[in-house]
Amino acid sequence: MQISTPSLLIWIVTAVATCGVIFRPWRVPEYAWALGAAALLTATGLLPLNTAIAAVAEGGDVYLFLIGMMVLAELARQEGLFDWLAAYAVGHAKGSGQRLFDLVFLVGTLVTIFLSNDATAVVLTPAVYAACKAARANPLPYLFICAFVANAASFVLPISNPANLVVYGSHMPSLPEWLRQFTLPSLAAIGMTYLVLRLAHRRQLAQPLAVLTEQAALSDGGRLCAIGIAFTGSVLLVTSAMNGPLGLTTFCAGAATLAAIRVRQRLSPLPVLRHVSWGVLPLVAGLFVLVEAVAQTGVIEMAARALETLAHRSPTEASWAAGIAAAVLSNLANNLPVGLVAGSVGHIADVPAQTRAALLIGVDLGPNLSVTGSLATMLWLVALRREGEHVSGLSFLRLGILMMPPALVAALLLL
């Protein structure tokens, strides 16, 4: 097959942008690489302007979802909710490293399920670090929980990972159908992640911890934030069951919670809004444009047809191939653009629901192999550096090789 010059140029620009997003050379922000590549493709005529605008508009529900979740997460951080939860875990660990591990894993799982994996990576990580310091524990075994459970539990619910909205888009299954399809694979992924993490750090967890006898009371703002988060989770479950727009619902719930707390405190919401990671939005918008440009080369349609042919011959083989390919590619190019491609493939190809679900599992769970696999893991690394901790890509990969394959196989087996 001969590749045309425009297609080759699109691939080169996309490859450079992807490397920039993953490796951040010269410390240029991720969104600058994605937006710069999108602007270059449009300015050179490789991608029509109206097509680029339409691609950006496709992510409307994702942007609203991210804004709502980031506002809730930052509000919870500023009101001390996550610090209180971490201190609660240390207090109830009663000097046992194993018990603290179990409690942190449980909290991380619940935060991922109801607040998304980015919240677990960004907000819970500093709280766990502070709790480990208070307990005089080696923080890394507990900090790794924040990274790995953020991906392992990210397909329990549609709201658990923004990538879920990207993969399914307007074709999101109803909540009962989602739970029927993903409950067992999610339990398998979470269970395998727990077992491998616990075994890998069994020696460190055997060390006794300091016992905290007192815990500061949760502030009024923290309690209101907890109520707001619980309300948001409940409303999202209802919205998902009714097949409604999750992004708009999350945005409204986050805005209402922020307004209620700040009005009660008679404080401005600006300090919360200033600390939200707004750069995530142009990053996602730029990735939408890049994926649309790649689609113009015809490669996504070719992949979709190949998967469709395999699915007609053997749905089981197609599901395994889709899940493994999505998992591997997520580590090579980050799971946000891979999720966009997987969504396009799933929409173009006439494949069983099981195969599309396998694509999502690969996109969500595959990034547990390397530090470049998902945005959540990259944000986790940033949070660690702020606390003075450093985890190399090689050390993460050593643990990821033990972690990801058995969890992925277990999830696909139970799909």
Tens-digit pLDDT profile for residues 90-128? 788 888 889 999 989 998 999 899 878 888 887 788 888
Name the pLDDT band for 362 (thresholds 50, 70, 90): very high
pLDDT of residue 213: 64
- Quickly list DSSP for 107-121: HHHHHHHHH-HHHII
pLDDT of residue 106: 92
How far apart CA 382 and CA 375 sit, in angstroms, is 11
pLDDT higher than threshold 70 for residue 57: yes
pLDDT of residue 1: 47
CB 66 within 8 A of CB 267: no
- Going by the DSSP 8-state scheme, the letter that residue 106 receives in this structure is H
Element (H, E) at 24: none
Q: What region does 278 belong to: left with phi over 0, alpha with psi -120 to 50, or beta? A: alpha
Can you give the C-alpha Rg of the chain in angstroms? Answer: 21
Of 310, 316, 326, the residue nearest 167 (C-alpha): 326
How far apart CA 99 and CA 269 sit, in angstroms, is 37
Joined together, the tokens standing for residue 185 give: 């694979």
Task: For residue 237, count other CB atoms closer than 10 A to its CB.
Answer: 16
* Residue burial 151-189, b: 16+ Cβ < 10 Å; e: rest: bbbbbbbbbbbbbbbbbbbeebbebeebbebbeebbebb
- Quickly list DSSP for 338-395: HHHHHHHHHHHS---HHHHHHHHHHHHHGGGGSTTS-HHHHHHHHHHHHTT----HHH
Name the pLDDT band for 3 (thresholds 50, 70, 90): low
How far apart CA 62 and CA 75 sit, in angstroms, is 20
How far apart CA 192 and CA 105 sit, in angstroms, is 13
Q: At what angle do helices 280-296 and 5-23 cross, to 10 degrees?
A: 160
How far apart CA 88 and CA 70 sit, in angstroms, is 23
pLDDT of residue 126: 84
pLDDT of residue 2: 52
| pLDDT higher at 153 or 230 | 153
| pLDDT higher at 144 or 379 | 144
Count of alpha carbons within 13 Å of 80, Cβ hemisphere only? Answer: 12
How far apart CA 98 and CA 204 sit, in angstroms, is 9
pLDDT higher than threshold 90 for residue 251: yes
pLDDT higher than threshold 80 for residue 257: yes
Give the C-alpha distances (Å, rounded to integers) separating 123 from 40, 118, 143, 211, 276.
Answer: 34, 8, 12, 24, 11
How far apart CA 247 and CA 250 sit, in angstroms, is 5
pLDDT of residue 116: 83
Share of the chain above pLDDT 90, in %: 38
Tens-digit pLDDT profile for residues 28-46? 888 898 899 999 999 999 9
CB 73 within 8 A of CB 119: yes
